[in-house]
Structure 1
Amino acid sequence: MAETKKNLFEYTEESIKSLDWKEHIRLRPGMYIGKLGDGSSPDDGIYVLVKEVIDNCIDEYTMGHGKTVEIAIKDKTVTVRDYGRGIPLGKVVDVVSKINTGAKYDSKVFQKSVGLNGVGTKAVNALSNFFKVASHRDGKIKEAEFSKGILIKEQKEGKTDAENGTLVTFIPDESIFKNFHFIPEFLEKQIWNYCFLNAGLRIIFNGKSFVSKNGLLDLLTRETNADTAPEGIRYPIIHLKGEDIEVALTHNNDYGEDYHSFVNGQHTTQGGTHQAAFREAYVKVIRDFFKKDYEASDIRQSIVAAVSVRVVEPVFESQTKTKLGSLNVDEGGPSMRQFVYEFLSKQLDNFLHKNPSVADALKKKIEQSERERKDMAGIKKLANERAKKANLHNKKLRDCRVHLNDEPPAKGKQEFFATQRNSTIFITEGDSASGSITKARDVETQAVFSLRGKPLNCFGLTKKVVYENEELNLLQHALNIEEGMEGLRFNRIVIATDADVDGMHIRLLIMTFFLQFFPDLVKNNHVYILETPLFRVRNKQETIYCYSEQEKQRAMKKLGAKPEITRFKGLGEISPDEFGRFIGEDIRLQPVIIDHGDQIQHLLEYYMGKNTQERQEFIINNLKVELDAAEEIAVA
């Protein structure tokens, strides 16, 4: 053949593709909103979409326009209405559909705003099946409707009696956010944070009003239940405010360090330079005040703190703004470390001098942590030596390639961050279950840790037991949380046990371990329960996997005749090929959430303590309700 074959790998003009803004966002959504998810995690994409729209309302409020924001989420439709100035009518379409269009590029108008990239609402528009924006401004209204970023309808300016402001309605695209659902607890926490950071702002969510008068003081009061259970904290909350910085802190009786950090009203869930500066400055100020060189870990053990800073043009490490990377408070100004230290060295030092009872309680807590650390120093050293040897041939851990604490590459950072947020470790019982998951998992982002059997009930024990128990120590090392949450290797810790009595018991024992010694894992929404199907209902044409008795009844009705029904008694009975469907794109995860008002030690005492009779009555009463519900479904 004389004709030359075209080289498929040839790099020519035809190789270069130019995507418009909406195509690029839809092709690479992780670059703009982080990971996608189905709503079972608070950092899933659907919550980022809601946040991006609300952020614009908050910026209006901080500029002195509009004191109320109304949010409604019904099924999968989100509506957000603010009472700010409203988008200039001639720019309504451009603001939500043209990249690099927005007032936030004019730093005089938005000096220290939340979003500085001009992408937020454009991403929401591009990733929504339906998107509508309406601007009310000085008696006039302008509306526009989009679908997947494409303008469908643009109405001419009309008259309106409504107050000034902007109304946005959208439905996330289910082809991108598959099987998504909103969890109210995640949304309420997000809304409370807006209120804590903007004292006086009123947000109405599905008819419920949220408002804060005392900023971060209210945040810590809510987090520690200091108003309803003051015995849970070691001393009254310290609340300090300055120009562009606000801090609240106390110590409780839990292990670990619990931080809530914010930049320009943005909840930086992964911390950053401002959080690191606070941790460092706090230790230095406490050492100077007590004139004693305490260990940093003893000073910070059991701390609960919130820190909020406002800076001009912050630099975040990812598009979703969960980690601050900017080192300067202002152009040519002091470093973040210096800024935070100067504030604390003056304000916190003054507070402790004026409140000697608080200073005394703080000193006692530090010295208690010091005694506990020294008490378990010997066993900790021995356990860590064992763990290092075990880690060389750790048969319990089948690791993955990408971890939450990995350093990002020089190129492709945004996509790396999105992959990083999917890093998952499955905690399984026995070899058969771990074998199925190991064969079916994605080795890039999914690891497996296999338990030998039922772990130890940790309720009421000291942290010394973590080092004395080889299995718990190996789990601690697999997660890399011995020195705190900063080194956490996995974003999602998934408890994967059988849906029987023993499996439920193991699940409770693992949750007790985390709540007793590493409560921050649960508080920061890292712990989940894996939902796997209880039944497989099939005929020759179709197979349906059912996660409940209700779903089984519906599947039987749909398939008719006499379908084959398989009851999965344990995870080991599910073949690796089938298992791949349940831990892949369609994974069902149930987040472990601590309700507001729940005190961890009270929870553990009730469910894992010695009050057997009380628990037995609770189980019997609630079991009857479940059986009644199942009978009703069967009859229907």
Structure 2
Amino acid sequence: MAKEYDESKIKTLSALEHIRLRSGMYIGRLGDGSHFDDGIYILLKEVVDNTIDEFIMGHGKKVVIDVDVELGRVSVRDEGRGIPLGKVIDCVSIINTGAKYNDDVFQFSVGLNGVGTKAVNALSSHFLVRSIREGIYQEATFSQGKLLSEDKGKSHEKNGVYVEFTPDVEIFGSYRFNMEYLAQRMHSYACLNRGLTLVLNGEKFISKNGLLDYLEKETEDAIRYPMISHRATHLEFAFTHTSEGYGETYFSFVNGQFTSDGGTHLVAFKEGILRGVNAFYNDKFTAQDVREGIAGAVAVKVKDPIFESQTKNKLGNSDIRSWIVADVSRAVEDYLHKNATTAKILKDKILANERLRKELNEVKKEARAAAKRISMKIPKLIDCKLHVGDLGGERSSIFLVEGDSAGGSFTSVRDVHTQAIFKLRGKPWNSYGAPQSAIYRNEELYNMMMALGIENSAEELRYGRIILATDADFDGFHIRNLLLTFFLHYFEELVVAGKIFILETPLFRIKKGKEAHYCYSESERDALLKKLGKGVLVTRFKGLGEISPNEFGQFIGEQIRLTPVMIDSLKQNKEILTFYMGQNTPHRRDYIMQHLIDDIV
């Protein structure tokens, strides 16, 4: 029987209550700190963004960040102007309050909607803000957005703002800061703000060459020629081609904010490269031939950025496209005129790409014809109803599963609207080191590419996430490695864009009476056995196919555990693949034997 719907059911929430109830609207995902974009890092980013805005406006050249990993507490201290003392409490607790609506005070700010630090305040069990201006400080302490205390007095410290917060376990659950992720973020901040010094737990981050430093760290010695770069007041970019890269890899930023999904500025940057190259060579090279294997970074300053969400992953301003295209085109053409050696290497790369594209097109025609003869339907694909481009399609996922047995468990409990399944037949072919044309001649890999929608371009990916769902045994790990090799070698941009994940499934079921508990590791199992005591039944799952549909649904539902596939740099990607999947058997054997001995000892 439906519950009665009347006036008593209508609720009015305060702004901070709404943030706590609908936290995903403000910070994206929650997570536990295992993913680079988990909520605890967004909280820190919101606070640091304010210090960066001060630096951009010419105030304060140093920011100190301290993270107590054990306590989960973070503090940030800048040397900017400080919040006007009479508005300290309002600026961290009242939505749509701040100076960033005033162009005289902030011209190129990331945070323009007056939400950032309010969200940090609302989602923290402890939040302290202290502003120091001209020898006077004003501070306030909050918990879950509620004011606990305030204080004011004299101070001998430099002007600026100190913020201290502890993410609320009621919102985030058990979490832990990953210092490697934070170091990557500090490095990005430094490269995007030349002259700014950031200190993270005593380690300094500073950049002299801006985006050149950023892209060099990403590519290191994998580059084919020296970086083509340009720096102006509102635009900075750098790009090169990697030695053996496929596809296109970009890192884009707006007012210091990393836009993982790109946007207008990235589209304009790519178009500008093509125009500049064709203008210099007086030719009509295709975009694919010019940009295949490219690695680039672009940063723009926009007065009124329009982002598609509070987490600012994609820029939507259409009015900036024309000037970015024109400026990039002129800068590329000018650079090539002044660097003849680089211009020759680039042309050789473009011509090589052209030859490979023509060869690949012939192979694709053969693959498409063969697939058509097999069936008009993609074999082993059980599709979902929503895809990228549809309303709600960004939430779609495709599980790459190991055979029909595991596929059966997924099929019976999946969400038919957003979860698709592609069933692999045994172990995929080790594609490392093979030319790109070879993967189109492999029937299973080609069928998988068709299922994903990437047989022509990674940009045509049909699903929001690709999830590798293999058994937690040696064969399953091997299959996972083969799939990772395929994506990292040929579709690296999907990894960089954060589209690929590994499904975590339980290794053990522990029953006591009618209660069932699931453990994802031996340490979890041991801890639970100690807690439950005697009279328990332990089942070790050997494969996904052994988990009944009644149990399995919860592991791919709202409580799904996913580990993102991430790489620190393009060079590291190549080194890892060469070592684990390349033709270096003696070195790999020595490594395995050494670690086996270490484990035994």
TM-score by length of 2: 0.94
User: In structure 2, the residue corresponding to 1:156 is in which secondary structure?
Assistant: strand
Q: For 1:474-493, what aligned pairs fall within 5 Å after superposition?
A: 474-493=447-466
Greater displacement, 267-276 / 165-174 = 165-174
1:93 is aligned to 89
Distance 1:491 1:262 in 2: 21
Distance 1:322 1:296 in 2: 24
- State the 1:402 CA deviation: 4.1
Counterpart position of 2:268? 277
What amino acid does structure 2 have at the position aligned with 1:248?
A: A
Within the candidate set 362, 373, 383, 2:346 is matched to: 362
Q: For the residues of structure 1 that align with 2:515 and 2:600, how far apart are their CA atoms? A: 29
- Equivalences for 1:295-310 in 2 at 5 Å? 295-310=286-301
Partner residue of 1:149?
145
SS in 2 for 1:155: strand
1:565 aligned counterpart, secondary structure: strand
Query: Which of 311, 314, 319 is matched with 1:323 structurally?
Result: 314
Check if 1:526 corresponds to 2:499: yes
Deviation readout 1:164-183 (Å, 9 max, x if unpaired): 22122222233332443333
Distance 1:258 1:282 in 2: 14
Q: SS of 1:472's equivalent?
A: helix
Q: 12, 19, 33: which is aligned to 1:18?
A: 12
Q: CA deviation at 1:387?
A: 5.1
Counterpart check, 1:554 vs 2:527: yes
The correspondence for 1:258, drawn from 249, 256, 269, is 249
Match of 1:44 among 22, 38, 41: 38
The residue that corresponds to 2:54 in the other structure is 60
> What is the Cα deviation at residue 16 of structure 1?
4.9
Are positions 1:211 and 2:206 aligned together?
yes
2:488 to 494, 497, 515: 515
Q: Does 1:581 align with 2:565?
A: no
Q: Residue 188 of structure 1 corresponds to which residue in structure 2?
A: 183
Deviation at 1:268, TM superposition (A): 1.1
Letter of the 2:425 counterpart? R
Runs (5+) with no aligned partner, structure 1? 329-335, 409-415, 629-636
CA distance in 2, matches of 1:443, 1:160: 61
* Aligned AA (2:214): L
Distance 1:80 1:390 in 2: 60
Q: Distance in 1 between matches of 2:373 and 2:128?
A: 59
Structure-2 change in CA distance of 1:123 and 1:487 (3 Å):
farther
Displacement of 1:442 in angstroms is 3.3
Aligned residue for 2:100, secondary structure, equals helix
State which of 132, 146, 168 in structure 2 corresponds to 1:173. Answer: 168
Partner of 1:469: 442
For 2:430, the equivalent position in structure 1 comes to 457
* Alpha-carbon separation, structure 1, partners of 2:162 and 2:425: 55
Question: Contact 1:104–1:110 (CA<8 Å) still a contact in 2?
Answer: yes
Residue matched to 1:314: 305
1:415-434 alignment, distance < 5 Å: 420=394, 422-434=395-407
How many Å separate the matches in 2 of 1:430 and 1:162? 64
Structure 1 554/16 Cα, relative in aligned 2: closer, same or farther at 3 Å?
A: closer
Contact 2:272/2:327 (<8 A) preserved: no
What amino acid maps onto 1:337 in structure 2?
A: R
Q: 1:370 to 1:100 in 2, by over 3 A?
A: same
- Are 1:84 and 2:80 counterparts? yes
8 Å Cα contact 2:403-2:424 kept in structure 1: yes
C-alpha distance in 2 between matches for 1:189 and 1:596: 11
Taking the aligned partners of 1:23 and 1:179, their CA distance within structure 2 comes to 21
- When structure 1 is superposed on structure 2, of 164-173 and 370-379 the one drifting more is 164-173
Match of 2:327 among 337, 340, 343: 343
Partner residue of 1:376 out of 335, 352, 360: 360
> How far did 1:206 drift?
2.5
Report the Cα offset of residue 70 of structure 1. 1.7
Q: Residue deviations 1:520-541, cap 9 Å, x none?
A: 2223332222222222233226
Q: Distance in 1 between matches of 2:569 and 2:133?
A: 39
Aligned partners of 2:57 and 2:107 also within 8 Å: no
Counterpart secondary structure, 2:151 = coil
Of 430, 436, 439 in structure 1, the residue corresponding to residue 412 of structure 2 is 439
Corresponding letter in the other structure for 1:274: H
Which of these residues, 234, 237, 241, is aligned with residue 244 of structure 1? 234
Answer whether contact 1:538 1:559 (CA < 8 A) is retained.
no
Structure 1 CA distance, aligned partners of 2:172 and 2:471?
A: 28
**2:29–2:37 contact (8 Å) kept in structure 1:** yes
Partner Cα separation in structure 1 for residue 465 and residue 241 of structure 2: 27
Q: Provide Cα deviations, 1:248-297, integer angstroms capped at 9, x if missing partner.
A: 11111200101111111111111111111111121122112111111210
Give the distance between the partners of 1:263 and 1:597, measured in 2 at CA: 22
Q: Which moved more, 1:182-191 or 1:100-109?
A: 182-191
AA matched with 1:216:
L
| Alignment partner, residue 158 of structure 2 | 163
Inter-partner Cα distance in structure 2 for 1:598 and 1:370: 24
RMSD: 2.4
Whether 2:62 is the aligned partner of 1:71: answer: no
Identity of aligned residues (%): 51
The residue aligned with 2:136 is: 140
Aligned to 2:112: 116
Q: How far off is 1:104 after superposition?
A: 0.3
Amino acid at match of 1:291: N
3-state SS in 2 of match to 1:371: helix
| Residue identity in the other structure for 1:544 | H
Query: What is the identity, as a one-letter code, of the residue corresponding to 2:314?
Result: K
Aligned ranges for residues 195-206 of structure 1 at < 5 Å? 195-206=190-201
| SS of corresponding position for 1:112 | coil
Q: Which moved more, 1:462-471 or 1:178-187?
A: 178-187
Amino acid at match of 1:163: K
Give the 3-state SS of the residue equivalent to 1:154 in structure 2: strand
Find the counterpart in structure 1 of residue 389 from structure 2: 406
Q: In 2 relative to 1, CA 50–6 (structure 1 residues): closer, same or farther, beyond 3 Å?
A: closer
Greater mean deviation of Cα atoms: 434-443 or 288-297: 434-443
Contact 1:500/1:570, CA 8 A, preserved across alignment: yes
Deviates more, 1:378-387 or 1:261-270: 378-387
Distance 2:547 2:600 in 1: 26
On the 8 A contact 1:128/1:171 being kept in 2, the answer is yes
1:633 maps to what in 2? none
Distance 1:472 1:208, change over 3 A: same
Q: 1-side partners of 2:215 and 2:453: how far apart?
A: 27
Structure 2 CA distance for partners of 1:598 and 1:578, relative to 1, 3 Å: farther
Whether the 8 Å contact between 1:134 and 1:141 is mirrored in structure 2 is yes
Cα shift at 1:514: 0.7
Q: Equivalents in 2 of 1:97, 1:353: separation in Å?
A: 54
Instruction: Provide the rounded CA distance (Å) in 1 between the counterparts of 2:200 and 2:396.
Output: 32
Tell me if structure 1 keeps the 8 A contact 2:219–2:571.
no
Match of 2:107, SS? coil
Other structure's SS at 1:204 match: strand
Contact map agreement 1:281 1:337 (CA 8 A) in 2: no
Report the Cα distance in structure 2 between the residues aligned to 1:515 and 1:591, rounded to whole angstroms.
13
In structure 1, how many angstroms separate the alpha carbons of the residues matched to 2:16 and 2:370? 53
In structure 2, runs of 5+ residues without a counterpart are none
Please give the per-residue CA displacement for 1:138-197, whole angstroms capped at 9, x wherever unaligned: 22222222222222x222202223322212222223333244333333322222221111
Change (3 A) 1:595 1:123: same
Change (3 A) 1:381 1:181: farther
Is the alpha carbon distance of 1:473 and 1:40 closer, same or farther for their aligned partners in structure 2, counting shifts above 3 Å? farther
